[in-house]
Amino acid sequence: MRELSIKYGCNPHQKPARIYMKNGSELPLEVLNGTPSFINFADALNGWQLVKELKEATGLPAATSFKHVSPAGAAVAVPLNDTLKKAYHLEGQDISPLATAYARARGADRVSSFGDFIAVSDKVDPDTAKILAHEVSDGIIAPAYEDEALSILKSKKKGAYVIMKIDPGYTPEETESRDIFGITLEQLRNNAVINKDLFSNIVTENREITGEGLRDLLIATITLKYTQSNSVCFAYDGQVIGCGAGQQSRIHCTRLAASKADNWMLRQHPKVLTLKFKEGLKNPVKDNAIDLYLRDDITEAEFVEWRDLFETVPEKLTPEEKAEWISTFKGVALSSDAFFPFKDCIDRAAMSNVKYVAQPGGSVRDDDVIKACNTYGMVMCFTGLRLFHH
- What is the set of active-site residues? 67-68, 230, 390
230 phi and psi, to 5 degrees? -65, 150
The Cα-based distances of 62 to 118, 234, 238, 240 in angstroms read: 11, 17, 10, 12
Contact 68/39 with Cβ under 8 angstroms? yes
Distance, in Å, from the CA atom of 343 to the CA atom of 175, rounded to the nearest integer, reads 36
Q: What DSSP element (H or E) covers 223? A: helix 211-224
* Region at 187 (left for phi over 0; alpha for psi -120 to 50; beta for the rest): beta
Contact predicate 131/109, CB 8 Å = no
Q: Which amino acid is at 80?
A: L
- E strand or H helix at 322, and its extent? helix 319-326
What is the distance, to the nearest Å, from the Cα of residue 317 to the centroid of all Cα atoms in its chain? 26
Residues facing residue 176 across a β-bridge: 187
Query: Which residue type does 218 have?
Result: L
The burial class, CB within 10 Å (0-12 / 13-18 / 19+), for 337 is buried
Alpha-carbon distances of 343 from 33, 39, 50, 365, rounded to whole Å:
49, 36, 29, 8
Written as one letter, the residue type at 269 is H
